[in-house]
């Protein structure tokens, strides 16, 4: 049997509560899971766009040296929308910071780059 979907992707953060406020409050996602992984002794937190099958795990960074080396920069997450320009305007009004306004790419796609409170860079891509 072949893999037929992706269920979960992760983004590393320094403060899960602040990240939860951003992804739910500013980006409009919904909280799907919020519990304790008892063996690991850490919070398991998953958000997702309403109706989406793919969840985003908000993972507390726990680099062995205490650094936040997993936090910040391009994290490989692409968020979809039917209208990047309209969504961009709505998110800017909610206080979301963008590094790149909606721009048509060489391959024809329209996208914008936004950052979360830990400077993780996400792509907002037009479906």
The order of strands in the sheet holding 97-104 is 73-81, 120-126, 110-115, 97-104
User: What is the CB-side half-sphere exposure of residue 105 using CA atoms within 13 A?
Assistant: 13
Q: Residue 68: its pLDDT value, please?
A: 62
Query: Whole-model pTM?
Result: 0.84
Sequence spans of domains, the chain: 8-63+71-126
Better-predicted residue by pLDDT, 21 or 64: 21
CATH code of domain 8-63+71-126:
3.10.180.10
Instruction: Determine the longest span between alpha carbons in the chain, in angstroms.
Output: 47
**What dihedral angle (degrees, nearest 10) is formed by the CA atoms of 83, 124, 19, 65?**
180
Hey, what are 7's tokens? 């269920």
The pLDDT, as a whole number, for residue 38 is 75
Q: pLDDT class for 49, splitting at 50, 70, 90?
A: very high
For 73-95, how does the pLDDT look when each residue is reduced to its tens digit (9 = 90+)? 999 899 999 999 999 999 999 99
């Amino acid at each position: 049997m072949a893999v037929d979907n992706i269920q979960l992707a992760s983004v590393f953060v320094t403060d899960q509560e602040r990240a939860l406020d951003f992804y739910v409050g500013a980006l409009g996602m919904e909280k799907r899971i919020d519990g304790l992984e008892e063996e690991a002794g850490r919070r398991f937190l998953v958000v997702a766009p309403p109706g989406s099958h793919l969840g985003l795990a908000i993972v507390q960074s726990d680099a062995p040296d205490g650094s936040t080396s997993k936090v910040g920069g391009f994290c490989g997450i692409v968020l979809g929308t039917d209208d990047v320009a309209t969504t961009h305007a709505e998110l800017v009004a909610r206080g979301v910071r963008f590094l790149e306004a909606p721009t048509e790419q060489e391959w024809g796609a329209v996208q914008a780059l936004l950052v979360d409170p830990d400077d993780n860079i996400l792509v907002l891509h037009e479906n």
